[in-house]
């Protein structure tokens, strides 16, 4: 599910009606993908996950400048990760590509 970019917009709460930053979506999905790694040793510590999610929640969002595609469209490739790229949670809570 995390490997197919076509599924990204289907994972978003429909009540957002396409009003979310694409970069925030990609970062949240990167965090989720790290949390469901098959090998437990590859998963981040919960404190790192909380810090990363707090960082995402603290980011300002201006819907006039950050329009995402709704459920019928596909998200732009900007900020999208390739399947073999590995994201990491930085010390400030941000997700690093």
Are 54 and 93 contacting, i.e. CB atoms less than 8 angstroms apart? yes
Q: In which band, very low, low, confident or very high, does the pLDDT at 82 lie, cut at 50, 70 and 90?
A: very low
Q: Domain range spanning residue 44?
A: 5-96
Q: Encoding tokens for residue 22? A: 């694409």
pLDDT for the residue 72:
46
Section 4-28 average pLDDT: 86
* Residue 52 to residue 56: CA distance in whole angstroms: 6
**For the chain, how many structural domains are there in total?**
1
* Residue 43 to residue 12: CA distance in whole angstroms: 23
What pTM does this model have?
0.63
Q: Which residues pair with 96 in a beta bridge?
A: 88
């Amino acid at each position: 599910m995390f490997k197919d970019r076509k599924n990204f917009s289907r994972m978003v709460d429909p009540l957002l009606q396409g009003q979310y930053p694409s970069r925030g979506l990609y970062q949240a999905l990167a965090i989720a993908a790290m949390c469901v790694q098959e090998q437990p040793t590859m998963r981040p510590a919960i404190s790192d996950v909380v810090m990363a999610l707090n960082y995402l929640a603290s980011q300002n969002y201006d819907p006039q400048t950050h329009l995402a595609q709704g459920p019928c469209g596909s998200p732009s490739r900007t900020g999208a990760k390739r399947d073999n790229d590995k994201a990491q949670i930085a010390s400030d809570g941000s997700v690093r590509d």
